[in-house]
Structure 1
Amino acid sequence: MIYDVLKQAIVIRTDLPLGKGKMAVQVAHASVETFVKVPERDQKKWLAEGQKKIVLRVESEEELLFMFEDAKRAGLPAS
């Protein structure tokens, strides 16, 4: 996939009782897992552009799954 600007969106669930440290670890895992799944050209572009990220919040597993399916339908890498 080639886009003008690549930005990684990481979605966290606010309904889970995770401390700040555990949440940070989960965000890091999600970031790395998605990075290794995209084509090398997208990896290089994302790295060259400063590794832009945004963290979004959802309040339930249902909302998370909706966002996941929406991303897949749009042809975006999601995990």
Structure 2
Amino acid sequence: MVAGQRPAERDTKMAAYAGAGAPYLWAVEPPKLWAYRLAGTRYRQELFAEGDNPVTVPGPVPVRLDPSRLC
């Protein structure tokens, strides 16, 4: 999901993913990254990262990445 989308479009997509039961969601707007985890029927933000410092994104298989290299 691209974080720079209009808020209404982003909210609609997040609600659709939550309704489908997707347990994790990432929003990317290089060099920024937001990671969310499904909590009930809504997403809860688990991580925000910005810049070129590698982070470990939570999930069923944690992933280490550099937000500035996402495109």
Name the TM tier (shorter chain): 0.3 to 0.5
Flag the structure with higher helix content: 1
Flag the structure with higher strand content: 2
TM-score (ref. length: structure 1): 0.32
